[in-house]
Amino acid sequence: MQKNLAHSLQLIAQQGPDAFYKGKIADEIAAEMAQHGGLIGKADLAAYRAVERKPVSGSYRGYEVFSMPPPSSGGIHIVQILNILENFDLAKWGFGSADAMQVMAEAEKYAYADRSEYLGDPDFVKVPQQTLTSKAYAKTLAQQIDVNKARPSADIKPGKLAPYESNQTTHFSVVDKEWQRGGGDLHAEHLLWQRCGGR
């Protein structure tokens, strides 16, 4: 039993958030940090404010999935792993089968490799959440999984992420009086122009 945790939860239930951020629990955290060269002091705890963020979402075999957003890596991982697993017939193999466990372990390796490269606190780093949680990206990872052979984690590198295509993309075509044609894709950031040729 975790008596310290139980005591902390009782204090929070009785005194509210101040028990953690300004009260006895804050005193104990600050003392422990100071004793071991930590960076967090009681003033840091008192000044902390929770940041509300939109949850990570996805779907798995018709079910909606919602989880923690960054800076937690868990939500992106869950959606990414489930997206990879959707590419395999786990039901056919059966719960707990060697093949199902192999695919699950490999899917997790790919998610953790991406975590090391792409995840962090969105207040400080750009997190490519839409790409990491996309079905298309998961399919590219699933294609690298061999059901019959485990790859060492050290051999699995973070994926090469294609830039996310903006929802603000539009295409246009231009034809002059001599029937010379051209077209392009217009993005908020840049313009791609493609000459299509003559008549």
Catalytic residues: 169
* Start-end of H helices in 67-122: 74-85, 90-93, 98-118
Burial track 80-93 (b if 16+ CB lie within 10 A, e otherwise): bbbbbbbbbebeeb
Return d(Cα 64, Cα 119) in angstroms, integer: 22
Residue 83 · residue 135 · CB < 8 Å: yes
Place of tokens 């990491």: 132
Residue 161 · residue 131 · CB < 8 Å: yes
